[in-house]
Amino acid sequence: MLSSRVRLVPTTVRSLICSSSRSFMDLKALLSSLNDFASLSFAESWDNVGLLVEPSPPHTVNTLFLTNDLTVEVMEEALQKKADLILSYHPPIFRPMKRITWKSWKERLVIQALENRVAIYSPHTAYDAAPQGVNNWLAKGLGVCTSRPIHPSKAPDYPTEGTHRVELNVTHTQDLDRVISAVKGIAGVSVTSFSARTDDEEQTRLSLNCSQQALMQVVAFLSQNREFYQKTEILSLEKPLLLHTGMGRLCTLDESVSLATMIERIKRHLKLSHVRLALGVGRTLESPVKVVALCAGSGSSVLQGAEADLYLTGEMSHHDVLDAASQGISVILCEHSNTERGFLSDLQDMLGAHLENKINIILSETDRDPLHVV
């Protein structure tokens, strides 16, 4: 009888089976969601971000594995924990690879990832710039403060086309037709016209949005007519700044604290027993700190020129530290990845909510800064 073949499955087991069957995302859909969380367009132009290693499609992700650095030990852990996608904050592939062999450790990581069908994704400076990213997490350790990016990002998309706008007034209809006919034949030019009045004379105002390449062709045409060219204005178009997105953070505390108090706050936030300190000229541990300029990782280029009582970063060159100290700015160095790694715990929670808990998200337990105080 049919009923004799039916095997009852305990409720708890059925629950696990159903949960497991729902706990995955297609890689492409997941990458789209990750970009919605923090757009890769915010990354620095020199950076190598996004999907770095992709198994042959289709590829589904059940487990997302978070790490600051993808080392040999971390890869072994990721494979043991059945990761389908490794999100490595630092890109393990940065310089171009000419071959993929077993010779170097980074090439071996790529081989292991492909052999085990594990994708690798790196957000790096996109997460540095993001409003909810690494630098905002680092600022949480300072105390109650207001912050803004030291170098704000520009909007990645904006309705205005082109890099320049060419504007000129045209009086006669035949001249207007000739200009419009000429510029419409140039790729990368959009034309807008409207009525204008100059010196009690009715004119047509032409506004030409041009790409960099098209600009030279437009200028070459207009320069053939001295009357047009002398009345031409060329404006450089800039995309609007994003006030909460960008590199570094300039943080103003609600209440000043002593440098000694700030040091303890930072050590507590980063879970460090020691940090490196350079006292600014004329400063002591009791000097007040009101403004802190910070940059996770390596902050020399980002912090340079920032007006603050204290610079906080992972590492700076010897001479950049001397320059800051000579201006009365104290410097705290915590080692590069110590200013980044703690963010991953926050990221785990934020991505869980953003992805609606559709996949498992786990943190590396072997990832750590390579430098130790001994």
Binding annotation for a divalent metal cation: 90, 128, 336, 340
> Is residue 107 classed as helix, strand or coil in its secondary structure?
helix
Contact 253, 289 (CB under 8 A): yes
- Report whether 178 contacts 184 (CB < 8 A): no
Are 115 and 208 in contact, with CB atoms under 8 Å apart?
no
Binding-site residue set: 90, 128, 336, 340
Residues 6 or more apart in contact with residue 314 via CB below 8 angstroms? 296, 297, 298, 299, 333, 334, 335, 336, 337, 338, 339, 340
Distance, in Å, from the CA atom of 346 to the CA atom of 332, rounded to the nearest integer, reads: 23
Helices and strands (H, E) in the chain, number of each type: 14, 19
User: Between the CA of residue 19 and those of 15, 24, 357, 358, what are the distances in Å?
Assistant: 6, 10, 11, 9
Do residues 296 and 134 lie in contact, with contact meaning Cβ atoms separated by under 8 Å?
yes
The residue ranges of DSSP E strands in 143-287, in sequence order, are 145-148, 151-154, 164-170, 189-198, 201-210, 233-236, 241-247, 249-258, 276-278
